[in-house]
Amino acid sequence: MLIVTQNRDFYVHSTLKKRLPCQLACPHSNDATMLPMSIAFTDTRGLIKAPVSFTEAILAGLAPGGGLFVPTRLPHFDAQELSELRVLPYHARAEWLYRAFGVDLESEALASLCADAYGEQWDDPRIAPIRSLANGTSVLELWHGPTSAFKDLALQLMPRTFSAAIKKQRAEGGLNHDVLILVATSGDTGSAALSGFAERPHTNIIVFYPAGGVSEIQRRQMASQAGNNLAVFGVEGNFDDCQNAVKAAFNDAELCERLTTEANLQFSSANSINWGRLMPQIVYYLSATAELCATGAITPERPLDIAVPTGNFGNILAAWYAKHMGAPIGQLICASNENKVLADFLESGVYDIRDRLFTTTPTPSMDILISSNLERLLYELAGDGACAAWMDELRHEKRFAVDASTLAIIKNEFVGGWLSNDGTLAAIRRLYEEQRYLCDPHSALAVEVGQRLRSADRPLLVAATAHWAKFAPDVTRALTGTAYGAELPADYAACSEFDLMHKVQELAPGSGRIPTHLANLANRPERFNAVIPAGANAVRDAVLSFIQQ
Ligand SMILES: *Cc1c(COP(=O)(O)O)cnc(C)c1O
């Protein structure tokens, strides 16, 4: 039986709230006290007047006033229901969760969107397989998708639901335009977003990346992306320059006007604060815990600790939502690199970015100062008033401190730890030498921090977020005992990143095959090699050239 709970106050005041059965369990009921089947969305800062539907929330992305969309309640599954997930193929598990939320898309459409999102483009039919290591540790491999990073799990499904949402709103007369998505990326997001939005009806996408600021593999992945609704530009500058120019484009009234009149388009973004990206991530935690329950590895009495390499806090927040929907999850271990603002926050309750110097690391996808999705956790634990005040402080003072009772709840569920750059490379090497399992730097960091902080009596699941071949140079450093940032040893110094993938295979027998699309990347034609100057004008001209082509 599916149970829903009043989410807003549930975690703090769980005993005060009455659980009501949802209509999904008894579709013929006419009982007026039943909650409606569809879960509506409100915002983290208490600024929107009426809750919105799933499709409205994902099309808007950010809530009016700057908050993030959050569900007004959560579905809740008991152990029996979760164990039933195990017999479904992965795409049906995703569909199952979307139905439990009562998303406002036709069920037939939803089924085919999920089947399409988790289909042939994955190199493992299980989509997110679990690999067992020694000492009660398992790894959830989230890199079997078309760009070999975990963002594919969200960015294969999200653009499909996004496209269907536009179609729905157009049919209902709520929207007259198609959308043009602008993405500023420092790495994995660009290629995963391009792959997800390529040829999706009613959508177009342009990606801007810092020329010289992404790896050769990442650049080629983007530059060779097929599709008629997309373009890619390098920007002479760093990631902030890209992001600022994209923001300027969104706020350029004249550009928006020309977009509408000349191409019938409207700007949109697809960043990781969109609820449409978080939902698919909850699926793999429900799915993984269902499988581990079925084998008897975990039970409601003996839950699982989960370690996640964390940047924007999206992936680990999805695990928290899965836990509060009933998955038997214990501690959530938040693994950081040398840019450890999150580890410090989870320890002290103080989020402070005033004097943080940014360092480069072998885990670039975690090099983040403001973890946007943390706002959702603060809302869930402390409510919209407190959340809005803290976000305001962060904007003005670059710092906020949560109250003692919120910190106590956070510490009850989360623990944070971090690893140095050379510690990360050592972790890759140790894991390979001890267990013949080769990991990318992000995943190895999470294994190491997870093993250090896990509860002794519980199994540990680690989210593995990228395939090692995407980070071949640092994996080569790890396997040859070379320090982070140092020149590669003579035998490797002249190799391209593509050559290094094969060198790694020689260095680490049993490390597995290189995903086909990465192995073929060096031979794929580059469609996009334009590099534009930094600044709003060049980005505006790039947008105009795209719509005029
Ligand atoms: C994006 C990314 C992360 C960080 O995930 P968040 O959801 O931002 O916390 C970790 N590892 C890899 C490889 C990534 O691409």
Collapsing DSSP states into helix, strand and coil, what is residue 548? Answer: helix
Mean pLDDT, range 249-270, rounded to an integer = 93
- Which range among 122-131, 260-269, 400-409 shows the weakest confidence by mean pLDDT? 260-269
**48 with 65: CB under 8 angstroms?**
yes
Ligand 1 site, residue 315, Cβ cutoff 6 A: yes
Q: Which residue(s) pair with 533 in the sheet?
A: 236
Q: Which amino acid is at 363?
A: T
* Ligand 1 mean position, distance from CA 265 (Å): 30
Q: Can you read off the two tokens belonging to residue 150?
A: 């975990």
Collapsing DSSP states into helix, strand and coil, what is residue 453? Answer: helix
pLDDT band for position 13 (50/70/90)?
very low
List Cα–Cα distances, 31 to 5, 22, 36, in angstroms: 17, 11, 10
Ligand 1 site, residue 156, Cβ cutoff 6 A: no
pLDDT band for position 6 (50/70/90)?
very low
Mean pLDDT, range 57-66, rounded to an integer = 92
> From the CB of residue 84, how many other CB atoms can be counted at a distance below 10 Å?
14
Q: Can you read off the two tokens belonging to residue 508?
A: 């680490």
The CA-based diameter of the chain, rounded to the nearest angstrom, is 75
* Ligand 1 mean position, distance from CA 108 (Å): 32
- Rounded to whole angstroms, the Cα distance separating 382 from 9 reads 8
- The string of pLDDT tens digits covering residues 459-504 is 999 999 999 999 999 999 999 999 999 999 999 999 999 999 999 9
Q: Can you read off the two tokens belonging to residue 321?
A: 């939502």
Ligand 1 site, residue 314, Cβ cutoff 6 A: yes
- Rounded to whole angstroms, the Cα distance separating 349 from 7 reads 23
Listed residue (411, 348, 328, 398) closest to 369, CA to CA? 398
pLDDT at 82 over 50: yes
Q: Is 151 a catalytic residue?
A: yes
Model pLDDT, residue 1: 31
Contacts 24+ apart (CB under 8 A), 508-511: 508/432, 508/438, 508/479, 510/436, 510/438, 511/432, 511/438, 511/468
pLDDT band for position 369 (50/70/90)?
confident
Closest residue (by CA) to atom 14 of ligand 1?
365
Q: Which residue has the higher pLDDT, 223 or 176?
A: 223
- Which atom of ligand 1 lies nearest, measured to the CA of 315? 7
**373 with 272: CB under 8 angstroms?**
yes
User: Going by C-beta distance under 8 Å and a sequence separation of 6 or more, which residues neighbour residue 41?
Assistant: 51, 52, 53, 54, 56, 57, 69, 70, 71, 72, 275
Q: What share of the chain is helix, strand, coil (3-state, %, to 5)?
A: 45, 15, 35
- Rounded to whole angstroms, the Cα distance separating 165 from 470 reads 33
Model pLDDT, residue 36: 47
Q: Can you read off the two tokens belonging to residue 11?
A: 């975690």
Number of H helices, E strands in the chain: 23, 18
Ligand 1 site, residue 365, Cβ cutoff 6 A: yes
Model pLDDT, residue 423: 98
Ligand 1 pocket test, candidate residues 366, 370, 372, most atoms within 8 A of CB: 366
- Which atom of ligand 1 lies nearest, measured to the CA of 470? 13
- Rounded to whole angstroms, the Cα distance separating 370 from 12 reads 26
What is the residue-averaged pLDDT of the chain?
91
- Rounded to whole angstroms, the Cα distance separating 310 from 110 reads 30
User: Going by C-beta distance under 8 Å and a sequence separation of 6 or more, which residues neighbour residue 438?
Assistant: 428, 431, 432, 468, 475, 504, 508, 510, 511, 512
pLDDT band for position 314 (50/70/90)?
very high
Model pLDDT, residue 357: 86
Ligand 1 site, residue 277, Cβ cutoff 6 A: no
Q: Residue with structure tokens 């795409």?
A: 91
pLDDT at 110 over 70: yes
Mean pLDDT, range 50-62, rounded to an integer = 94
430: burial class by Cβ within 10 Å (0-12, 13-18, 19+)? middle
pLDDT at 17 over 70: no
pLDDT band for position 18 (50/70/90)?
very low
Model pLDDT, residue 467: 97
pLDDT band for position 3 (50/70/90)?
very low
pLDDT at 453 over 70: yes
Mean pLDDT, range 281-285, rounded to an integer = 98
Mean pLDDT, range 242-260, rounded to an integer = 93
Q: Which residue(s) pair with 466 in the sheet?
A: 149
> From the CB of residue 266, how many other CB atoms can be counted at a distance below 10 Å?
16
Percent of the chain with pLDDT over 90: 84
151, 323, 470, 503: which is the annotated catalytic residue? 151
Mean pLDDT, range 390-416, rounded to an integer = 97
| Pairing outcome for strands 329-336 and 414-418 | parallel
Ligand 1 site, residue 143, Cβ cutoff 6 A: no
Helix axes 216-223 and 497-507, enclosed angle (nearest 10):
120
Q: Residue with structure tokens 């659980």?
A: 19
